[in-house]
Amino acid sequence: MVRIQSPDNPLVRRLRRMAESPRACREAQRTIAEGVHLVECVLAARVPISAVVVSESATATVRALAERAAEVGGVRIAELSRPLYDSLAPVEYGAGILVEIAFARPELPVGQAVDAVYLDGVQDPGNAGTLLRTAAGAGVRHVAASTGTAFLWAPKVLRAAMGAHFAVSIYEDVSADRLVAAFKAERLAADAGGGESLFAASWGVQPTVWMFGSEGRGLSDDASALAQRRMRIPIDGAVESLNVAAAAAVCLFEQRRRRERGTL
């Protein structure tokens, strides 16, 4: 183990750049996974580990996990003062353990008959992470995202997704027109404004690409034009719309229900 006190230490500087800038993660093809659950997911998924950091206040359990991660990664554990650790963690009260990992950027498939999700301008990292977690929980293993969506490998998105990153294939900088060739599936637009009732309409026999738009403006015109059907969650008039991650949970689990029950 090596103790680090200085904010100018090269490792600390490298990690801080990633903590502060999704672009730095994108360029380095590395990111930060923080918290006990996420580090356990990293180990279970055999993701390459290039640094292991603990806070000076980490418990014995957390340190034991760090030792496992360090052994797998072939690196030494870096122990940081609490303020220094906190400056790198994507959440306010971090668990005291984080690892630097490399991630893959797979190519879009061609003509696959599988379920997928398309995120079009979902900017909030918490929403994007929750959406990834929900997609994985609903059995959807392919998530594509537009350039205007939060960078899905950013530390905050990783934290919110709680390990879902390692269960789905993530495609970024995908313009909506590329979905057509990639997925042999019906493109369904979630639309707060109108369309067929999610519950009453017949859908979901074929694989689907569910398309979710930005929190404020919904789907872009480009994405909207490529949707084959517009689907509406029948919400009570008390509110105008749902949070995008909540809307996605309703749509993707209605799909799961239909598949499970055979009520198509």
Contact footprint for its own copies (CB under 8 A): 37, 126, 130, 133-134, 136-139, 141, 160, 162-164, 167-168, 199-200, 233-236, 238-243, 245-250, 253-254, 256-257, 260-261
Nearer to its own copies, 180 or 246 (CB): 246
Q: How far is the CB of 139 from its own copies (least distance, A)?
A: 4
Q: Which is closer to its own copies, CB of 63 or CB of 256? A: 256
Q: How far is the CB of 165 from its own copies (least distance, A)?
A: 10
Give the alpha-carbon dihedral of 6, 9, 13, 19, to 10 degrees. -60
Class of residue 27 by CB neighbours under 10 A (exposed 0-12, middle 13-18, buried 19+): exposed
Query: For residues 206 and 228, is the Cβ–Cβ distance under 8 A?
Result: no
DSSP 127-162: HHHHHHHHHHHTT--EEEE-TTSPPTTSHHHHHHHT
- State the minimum distance, in angstroms, from the CB of residue 67 to its own copies: 23
Closest CB to its own copies among residues 47, 136: 136
* In the complex, minimum distance from the CB of residue 8 to its own copies, in angstroms, rounded to a whole number: 27
DSSP tally for the chain: helices H, then strands E: 10, 12
* Choice between 69 and 245, CB closer to its own copies: 245
Nearer to its own copies, 221 or 240 (CB): 240
Residue 249 C-beta: closest distance to its own copies, Å: 4
DSSP one-letter code for 183: B
Question: Taking the CB of residue 252, how many other CB atoms lie within 10 A of it?
Answer: 24
